[in-house]
Structure 1
Amino acid sequence: MSDRCSAGYDRIARHYERIEKLRFGNTLQRARLSSIPSLANANSSPHVLVLGDGDGRLLEAFLKYCPTAHVTSVDASPKMIEQQRNRIPALPQHDVTWIRSPIESFVFPTSTFDIVITAFFLDCFDASQLSKLLPRIADALKPQSIWYVVDFCEPEQGPRRMWAKFWLAIMHTFFRWQTGLRSRRIVDPRPQLRDLGFEPQSEQTFHFDMIYAAVYQRQSERQRP
């Protein structure tokens, strides 16, 4: 993400939760947290990569379920990272490393993490950007790792699809105006995740099928077709 993008998220950081709730109430947060208990129970002391968590509400909830996790949180916005830091000290113990970096220049360590969390993050990228980014994230994950995706999507057909396309277009226009994001429409990352060897373990939908929360697990090489 560019300096303009980082500056844009800095501007809206204080208002991010308020903007979200004006349109969606608590739905986005319910989606974020829908599979957090199962993720936390999957490994007693996992190494976790959190990308673009924004104001840190997901990270805060995850650490309450799994306080022994070793977390690396990467965000391009210094103001968002500041908000994350302000949430975490209230917890009794934590091991969190914050990294301020645009995702394009972040150097992913190889085969390091048990879990990666991308909540309302992948929708910031267009198809070309995602085709480069997703393999980089995958390379940072261990065998049998878990990828937790929470994001917007377009229902397959009917009035819900038209309704979702309308609101998603408005949202993309707003964030392009504020942050200069290239993305103009939702690109579904799920087919590429399958191609990278991640199989869906569970999926829930919210808000008239406009939002989904999916847990993927990486197959071992011998399990792959």
Structure 2
Amino acid sequence: MIVNEYNKLAPYYDFLARMVFGKRLLRAKLHFLHLLPEHAKICIIGGGTGHVLQQLLKNNPHTQIIYLEKSSKMIALARQKLNQNMLTQVRFVEGDVSNLAEEEKYDVIITNFFLDQFSERRLTILMKSLNSRLQAGGLWLFTDFVLTKRSKNYWWQFPLVKFMFAFFKLTVNIESNKLLEFNLFFQALGLEINNEQYFLKKLLVTRIYKRKSSK
């Protein structure tokens, strides 16, 4: 069984991200938050240290959020970013997707730099499970790295991505060792791109996928 040891990395995670990418990762994660519906029930999967959580609650003080994160230290850091009123809107869940109630449905699911940890087989199972919890007409906000071999920037993007996977394999024991074609997994679930924005010479992408409404 793969065990991701993000507790070890939690105190340094934000610093390392800023050192390598500046504020680009954060900008990508925040880019479409203003498009999320008011009064939505939102599930953030693998939310890390909570920057998105903080901004999301500032934008929409009426939303309800389930914050799923395997690392107790990441959850502690996320809590520290919130005031008492914000904390009443968030239910923190320590664990993985199996710790979410199967019958619970969400208007929005957010996965930022989370899906890249898994093998193709596990990702298929995971995304199917998450999609079953998304309301008809619901939104899935996805942000992650993408690689395009035809890109003129591939010569520097590929070794950077290779280094990142090696680093996270060594430090937190992630399962995957390469970027998958994430859009194919969303398409297989019948989710359609509603909005899309690239960053860092198209190495980063943030997308809003929409689940079809029931007829």
TM-score above 0.5, yes or no: yes
Q: Quick one: distance in 1 between partners of 2:169 and 2:47?
A: 19
Conserved 8 A contact 1:72-1:96: yes
**Which of 192, 196, 199 matches 1:206?**
199
Written as runs of structure 1 = structure 2, the 5 A alignment for 1:50-199 is: 50-89=44-83, 94-103=88-97, 105-110=98-103, 112-199=105-192
Q: Quick one: distance in 1 between partners of 2:76 and 2:174?
A: 22
Counterpart of 1:165 in structure 2: which amino acid?
Answer: F
Conserved 8 A contact 2:57-2:86: no
- TM-score normalised by L of structure 1: 0.90
The number of residue pairs the alignment matches comes to: 215
CA spacing shift, 1:21–1:88, aligned 2, 3 Å: same
Partner of 1:36: 33
Partner of 2:20: 23
Written as runs of structure 1 = structure 2, the 5 A alignment for 1:2-17 is: 2=2, 4-5=3-4, 8-17=5-14
Counterpart of 2:25 in structure 1: which amino acid?
Answer: L
Q: Quick one: distance in 2 between partners of 1:111 and 1:92?
A: 22
Conserved 8 A contact 1:110-1:139: no
CA spacing shift, 1:90–1:106, aligned 2, 3 Å: closer
Q: Quick one: distance in 1 between partners of 2:29 and 2:132?
A: 24
Counterpart of 1:58 in structure 2: which amino acid?
Answer: V
SS of the aligned residue for 2:102 comes to coil
CA spacing shift, 1:177–1:92, aligned 2, 3 Å: closer
Partner of 1:49: 43
- What is the Cα deviation at residue 121 of structure 1? 0.6
- TM-score normalised by L of structure 2: 0.94
Counterpart of 1:133 in structure 2: which amino acid?
Answer: L
Segments of 5+ residues of structure 2 without an aligned counterpart are: none
Q: Quick one: distance in 2 between partners of 1:214 and 1:59?
A: 18
Identical residues among aligned pairs (%): 25
- What is the Cα deviation at residue 12 of structure 1? 1.2
Q: Quick one: distance in 1 between partners of 2:161 and 2:49?
A: 21
- What is the Cα deviation at residue 194 of structure 1? 1.7
Counterpart of 2:7 in structure 1: which amino acid?
Answer: D
Q: Quick one: distance in 2 between partners of 1:209 and 1:131?
A: 24
RMSD: 1.7
